[in-house]
Structures are given as structure tokens and as C-alpha cells.
């Protein structure tokens, strides 16, 4: 699955017209807990099946089998409930969503609920004919992952011969249909030096947006961490290249990029705060605050098979576990940034320290920060453990 | 930004491209502009501008209309709307 960055920007103006990059401030839901906001985005993991084997995949190692996947009608109900809860955008993802034979019906149902529909795909398994049908039933945006700027390397990283050519072909169809295209470029040691070529490729494909998504170490990516980890020098060069390319292509293509976790001093505001802006429904129907949340032991997740989405959002133990700031300890508790980055990522805190309530060790103030620095220096050219079901 | 880029032709017909939609949502507290993997909260004035970006009205007509609706000097409206629309176009959220 490609990496996801959702951030919310406000069109705000001091005079009549200035566009400021500010978080959309939300009013809490009427009558509810002051900390309970309406979610803005729903990540719908339609399936864990995927023809590609990308070693940076953030899906869990234990993938949901096809036999446990939610059916079309249940997804349609989930979308209706999501829209009722205030969700604006649904990200149809996976796995590879094209592996679902009912992808067109699912997309149509999401559109009919009034949701903005975003298809996140590897492009392998979606034909031009399917894309035409998706366009007709209201698909708003397509994101295609690209593994490298060069075919041989791209197919090697994807673990799938011929993937690169199919991505190029589907991207062309997306652009022909006048659907906006984002290229998602997951960066790691093998391709980070090709960043400029990847942006050039995104431009050539007609993308209006490119995500420079540094691999984040969850699921399969965690397993492959030392094989993927870029060097400090590569990361530094990549950041400078992004700045240069943004200037060069201003107005042509939007380049979104964040500093890779293990090389940062400040943690990311993971999913915009736990149980605050987004939710994730797994192929089998479990509702998670983020796609990696099942890696934290002891959390109780509720399923859309048994509960309404609004009930899950407000009351499921997993959502309440780290919502707000009450769960925090020092140094987060008294930190001036606690409402900005929410203590970072809970899954990462658990993965690296064994304690999900700890400060994300990416933070330079975290007692465990040296762990991250040590791991960032481990580069090991072992073969990839490809993601396979 | 160079000077040419900060001007919008009087006969341009700004419109929201496919994949960018202005919607009203009660739960999120009002008007929002939905875009590829982005949500922009739109305030009352920007909504008035965006509603007029239909691809039919010219930029000059939009400015005239807003100057009349808001009883404000045309030059100032034109400058402010230019900044706003140019900013959106640079982010690929508007076609000019």
C-alpha cells in the first residue's frame, strides 16, 4: 500500500484573498465530548490482496484473507454512515483495490453517499475499461504508486515484472479521462538518489501532484528496515532537491514531501491525532485509528459487522485509548507541541520502545531518541523480504 | 512569482477542474473545498468567489459582480481575487 499523507489546509484570508496553509479548525460535535471531532477522511482497505510485493508495504504481516473481506453491501453501508459522521473523503485502498471484482460498485456507492472518492492503486489489475467505468460513476482522483524512475529497478522493487509499463499506461488513461493524477513515490535507499527523475516522470505522465513519501517503518517495511534505510547524506540531498524542484516547477506540479521519520528531530502528527481526523476500515471490517494500530497489543477494535461507525468512532476502546492528551506522560504532557504533534506515532513508540504511551522516539526530547539515531545508521544490503500473502 | 503570473486576463473563465469540488458540510462547520487528498476550509468570502468560478463567467465579470455585491472598490476586489485565484491555480486547484 502506498504511504498516505493527508493534511488539511484552510483557505483563509487576512484581506480578501490570502491562502494560508493552516489546519482546518473544527468545532467539536454538538453535545459530545469536547475532544470528539468529526473525522474528515476514511481509509477503506478493500482488500489485502495485491499482485505487487513491495518491501516497504505498511500493511500488517498477517494479511486478511479473501474469505474474510467485507461484501459490497457492507461497504456501501459503511460509506453512508461515514458521510453521516462528517467524513468528506474516502481513500479506496488496500492491498490493491483493483483485486476486488466489485470495485466499480463500491466506488459508485461511495460517490452516491456524497463522499469524495480517491483511488489509491498500484495500477496493476485495473484495466482501461474499468477505469472508464470508475470515471463514469464519479471517481474524483487517482493516486498511482511508482517504484522508481527506471523500469528494471522499478519492477525489481515491486517484485513484479512488467508493473512499470502498466503503471505508465494506466496513468495515461487517467489523464485522458481528465481525472487528476497523483504519483506516489515511496523513497528509500535504492531510489532516493533518483528523486529528480521521479518528479520528471510524474510531470511527463501528466500528474498534478507528486508525493515524495519516504518509507515509514511499519508492517513489511519494518521487517525490511535495514534494506530500505537511506543514509543521512542521501536524506540531506533529497531535502535540498525537493526545495529546488518546488521552485523550478511552481504552478506546474505540487510536490508534497516530509522529512523521513528516523532522520527527523520532531515526530510527525500521526494521522492528525489519534481518533481525531481519520479512521481506517480493514478488509475484514475492523475499524482502526490508523492502519498500523493492530500492531499495538491489548487494544480492542470494534468491527463494522457489529457496530455502527458513529458508535465505533465515539466509544470503541481502541479509539478512546490515545484520544486527546490525557494518556500522555512527560516529556509530552507539558510540551508546547503536544497539541501539534500529539506525541507522535503510538505504533512507532510501541515498535521501538515496547511502550505505546511513550513519546515517539523520533522526538529529540524522547528518552529513547538514541534508538532512532542508531537504527538510522544501519544500512544492510540484504535481499528484500517481499510482501506476500 | 513574476509580474505576468500575478495578473489574470479579464476574459479568463476560471473554473474548478475535475477532482475539485466545493461542498457544504454541516458536521465540518460549513463550506469546504475538496481536492486531491486535501480539504480546504473555505470562509464566507472565498465561497462567494469560488461559487462564481463556473467556467462561464469571465474574470472581469466576477470582479464586477463581487464589487457590486460587497459594495467595495473594484481595484481592491480585483487585487484580492487575483491573489486568491492565482494561489489556487498554482496548487492546481483552479483552471484559468
A361 vs A17, more confident: A361
pLDDT band (50, 70, 90) for residue A36: confident
Taking an 8 Å cut-off on Cβ atoms, the answer to whether A209 and B42 are in contact is no
Taking an 8 Å cut-off on Cβ atoms, the answer to whether B28 and A40 are in contact is yes
Cβ within 8 Å of residue B39, ≥6 positions away: A8, A9, A24, A40, A41, A88, A89, B28, B32, B33
Q: How far is A38 from chain B (nearest CA, A)?
A: 7
Beta bridge partners, A209, equal A182, A254
Task: Identify from B36, B51, B76 which residue to disrupt to test chain A contact, counting A C-beta atoms within 10 A and taking the largest count.
Answer: B36
Taking an 8 Å cut-off on Cβ atoms, the answer to whether B38 and A7 are in contact is yes
Angle at A293 between CA B37 and CA A72, to 5 degrees: 60
Residue A10 pLDDT: 35
Instruction: Give the Cα separation of A99 and A108 in Å (integer).
Output: 16
Instruction: Give the Cα separation of A370 and A359 in Å (integer).
Output: 13
Half-sphere exposure (Cβ direction) of B3: Cα atoms closer than 13 Å = 0
Residue A24 pLDDT: 40
- Whether the per-residue pLDDT at A34 is higher than 80: the answer is no
| pTM confidence score | 0.91
Residue by residue, pLDDT tens for chain B (96 residues) are: 444 457 899 999 999 999 999 999 988 889 999 999 889 988 888 999 999 999 999 999 999 999 999 999 999 999 999 999 999 999 999 999
| Poorest-pLDDT segment among A48-57, A375-384, B35-44 | B35-44
Give contacts of A118 with chain B, Cβ < 8 Å: 36-37
Q: What is the ipTM of this complex?
A: 0.91
Average pLDDT, chain A: 91
What are the counts of helices (DSSP H) followed by strands (DSSP E) for chain B?
3, 3
Taking an 8 Å cut-off on Cβ atoms, the answer to whether A13 and B87 are in contact is no
* Contact criterion met (CB below 8 Å) for A79 and A41: no
C-alpha cell at A90: 474516502
Residue A9 pLDDT: 34
- Whether the per-residue pLDDT at A12 is higher than 80: the answer is no
Residue B5 pLDDT: 56
Residue A129 pLDDT: 97
Chain B residues contacting A via beta carbons under 8 Å = 1, 5, 17-21, 23, 25-29, 32-34, 36-43, 45-46, 76-77, 79-84, 87-92
Angle at A340 between CA A339 and CA A342, to 5 degrees: 65
Taking an 8 Å cut-off on Cβ atoms, the answer to whether B84 and A118 are in contact is no
Amino acid at each position: 500500500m502506498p504511504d498516505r499523507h493527508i493534511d488539511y489546509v484552510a483557505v483563509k484570508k487576512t484581506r480578501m484573498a490570502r491562502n494560508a496553509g493552516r489546519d482546518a479548525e473544527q468545532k467539536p460535535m454538538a453535545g459530545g465530548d469536547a475532544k470528539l471531532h468529526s473525522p474528515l477522511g476514511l481509509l477503506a482497505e478493500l482488500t489485502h490482496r495485491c499482485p505487487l510485493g513491495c518491501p516497504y508495504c505498511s500493511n500488517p504481516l498477517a494479511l486478511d484473507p479473501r474469505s474474510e473481506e467485507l461484501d459490497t453491501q457492507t461497504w456501501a453501508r459503511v460509506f453512508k454512515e461515514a458521510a453521516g459522521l462528517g467524513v468528506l473523503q474516502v481513500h479506496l485502498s488496500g492491498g490493491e483495490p483493483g483485486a476486488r471484482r466489485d470495485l466499480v460498485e463500491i466506488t459508485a456507492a461511495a460517490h452516491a453517499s456524497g463522499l469524495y472518492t480517491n483511488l489509491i492503486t498500484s495500477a496493476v489489475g485495473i484495466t482501461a475499461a474499468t477505469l472508464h467505468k470508475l470515471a463514469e460513476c464519479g471517481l474524483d482522483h487517482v493516486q498511482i504508486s511508482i517504484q522508481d524512475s527506471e523500469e528494471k529497478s522499478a519492477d525489481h522493487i515491486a517484485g513484479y515484472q512488467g508493473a512499470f509499463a502498466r503503471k505508465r499506461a494506466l496513468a495515461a488513461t487517467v489523464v485522458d479521462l481528465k481525472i487528476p493524477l497523483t504519483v506516489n513515490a515511496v523513497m528509500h535507499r535504492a531510489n532516493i538518489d533518483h528523486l529528480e527523475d521521479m518528479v520528471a516522470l510524474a510531470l511527463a505522465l501528466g500528474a498534478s501532484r507528486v508525493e515524495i513519501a519516504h518509507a515509514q517503518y511499519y508492517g513489511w517495511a519494518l521487517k525490511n528496515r535495514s534494506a530500505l534505510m537511506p543514509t543521512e547524506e542521501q536524506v540531506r540531498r533529497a531535502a535540498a532537491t525537493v526545495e529546488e524542484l518546488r521552485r523550478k516547477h511552481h504552478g506546474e506540479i505540487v510536490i508534497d514531501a516530509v522529512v523521513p521519520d528516523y532522520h527527523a528531530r520532531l515526530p510527525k502528527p500521526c494521522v492528525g491525532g489519534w481518533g481525531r481526523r481519520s479512521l481506517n476500515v480493514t478488509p475484514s471490517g475492523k475499524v482502526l485509528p490508523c492502519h498500523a494500530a493492530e500492531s499495538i497489543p491489548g487494544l480492542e477494535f470494534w468491527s463494522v459487522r457489529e457496530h455502527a461507525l458513529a458508535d465505533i468512532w465515539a466509544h470503541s476502546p481502541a479509539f478512546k485509548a490515545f484520544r486527546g492528551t490525557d494518556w500522555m506522560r512527560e516529556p509530552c504532557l507539558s510540551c508546547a507541541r503536544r497539541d501539534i504533534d500529539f506525541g507522535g506515532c503510538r505504533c512507532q513508540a510501541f515498535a521501538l520502545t515496547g511502550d505505546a504511551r511513550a513519546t515517539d522516539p523520533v522526538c529529540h526530547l524522547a528518552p529513547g531518541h538514541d534508538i532512532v539515531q542508531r537504527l538510522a545508521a544501519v544500512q544492510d544490503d540484504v535481499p528484500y523480504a517481499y510482501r506476500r500473502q | 512569482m513574476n509580474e505576468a503570473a500575478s495578473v489574470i486576463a479579464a476574459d479568463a473563465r476560471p473554473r474548478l477542474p475535475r477532482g475539485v469540488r466545493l461542498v457544504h458540510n454541516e458536521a465540518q462547520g460549513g463550506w469546504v473545498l475538496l481536492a486531491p487528498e486535501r480539504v480546504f476550509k473555505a470562509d464566507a468570502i472565498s465561497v462567494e468567489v469560488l461559487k462564481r468560478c463556473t467556467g462561464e463567467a469571465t474574470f472581469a465579470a466576477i470582479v464586477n459582480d463581487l464589487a457590486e455585491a460587497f459594495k467595495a472598490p473594484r481595484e481592491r476586489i480585483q487585487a484580492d481575487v487575483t491573489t486568491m485565484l492565482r494561489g489556487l491555480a498554482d496548487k492546481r486547484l483552479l483552471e484559468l
